[in-house]
Copies of this chain bind each other. A is one copy, B any other.
Amino acid sequence: MAVGQTDFPNMPPISGIQIGTTNAGIKQTVRDDLLIFQFSETATCAAVFTQNAFCAAPVVLARKNLTQSPRWLLINSGNANAGTGEQGMQDAIQTCDDLAKITSGQKQHVLPFSTGVIGQSLPVEKIKIALPKAVANFSENNWKNAATAIMTTDTFPKGVTKTILLNDETITINGISKGAGMIQPNMATLLSFIATDAKISQPLLQHCLASATELSFNRITVDGDTSTNDACVLMASGCSNAPEILENSESYQIFASAILDVMKALAELIVRDGEGATKLMRIVVSEAANDAEAVQVAKTIAHSPLVKTAFFASDPNWGRILAAVGRAGVVEMELDKIRIYLDDVCIVRNGGRAEDYTEEAGQAVMNQAEILIDVKLGRGEFSQTVLTCDFSYDYVKINAEYRT
């Protein structure tokens, strides 16, 4: 069940970015579970990774190989290759080596990514057998297949596309992502791959990605659990006719703004597909003394099981929102200054329920599938937004039955 699901967009090819997918039998479904990106020799590649202290073997290897001018991304779903110890690292290296052999490349030019069940050995033989099939499928037109191949508990493939004009030349940006549970990204989401035909240096691309991640994937949460495998990659093939994007240029501003738009849209798709989600909540905390406390208050609301179950029930139980704000750990917060709105209905003012609030007005907002929770702290001028979803029977069902 997804909130306001949209159809997969018509995603144009990105010149210089080849995509191949196949079914390696990792997941025991008919769906493809293996995905390879191959980029042109002119390409640059940036990536951000999970901050979970126990990141998976492929994350460790990808982080290392990122400095070696990568040319391939090798991605599997169905198995996270996490919590697999030294064998897991050997397995990750092995699959990179297997891909390098059939593409006449070098294994250190491959970034591996895995998503799925934690703690089971990666089926390296199945992957080795499937790799030639994926390579044989290479095409610049494989974006929907790519988005489908990385799905785990996702209920729909997630893609966003955008074009911009730089010096009268068209630049295309395509992005895909996956993720529905274990979502509180910290530097990156579960998996997201974004490609563009722009020409841009690796350091500037990395800066662009890191900045956009902070305001997109790092502002969503489904269940507060940060994965061991989160990663987000931004590839720039350099194959468009536009000149190179340089630091501090107007082109960079336009490009960075477009990348942020794509990543925000991808992040929102993940929340819409949050496990068991029936509602999308956009939590805006404004009038904060700084950005950090705005995020802190917004995430405390977003993680509260009591708030999330009340939204599932369409119950305007504003007391739970107020209690969450109160326990967010902001020092010297004054209750009398707080105002809380559901969309444009004021629910809290002057230290308690707003005098003009009616249950009918609150109920009308709660019946919507998408709801704005607008918290004004009365402390300063900073504002931050966090997206989350509600907590339903299906969340429990999906996660109780995940391995059965």
Contact = CB atoms under 8 A, between A and B. Distances in A.
A226 B323 contact: yes
Q: What size tier do the contact residues of chain A reach?
A: 35 or more
Interface stretch (A61-69, A262-270, A350-358): A350-358
A2 interface: no
Interface in A52-92: 52-55, 80, 82-88
Given A54-B322, A118-B323, A327-B52, A403 B317 contact: yes
A6 interface: no
9 contacts: A53-B330, A54-B323, A82-B322, A83-B322, A83-B348, A225-B306, A225-B320, A305-B395, A305-B399
B53 A327 contact: yes
Given A225-B304, A228-B319, 16 more contacts: A51-B327, A53-B325, A53-B327, A54-B323, A83-B348, A83-B351, A85-B350, A85-B352, A119-B352, A181-B306, A309-B399, A310-B402, A312-B400, A315-B403, A392-B396, A393-B393
A404 interface: yes
A401 interface: yes
B182 A323 contact: yes
A333 interface: yes
A335 interface: yes
A306 B403 CA distance: 12
Nearest to A312: B400
Given A305-B225, A306-B182, A327-B186, A319 B395 contact: no
Contacts of A352: 83-88, 119
A101 interface: no
A117 interface: yes
B228 A323 contact: yes
A328 B225 CA distance: 10
B53 A333 contact: yes
A219 interface: no
Interface in A245-291: none
Interface in A370-404: 391-393, 395-397, 399-404
B54 A313 contact: no
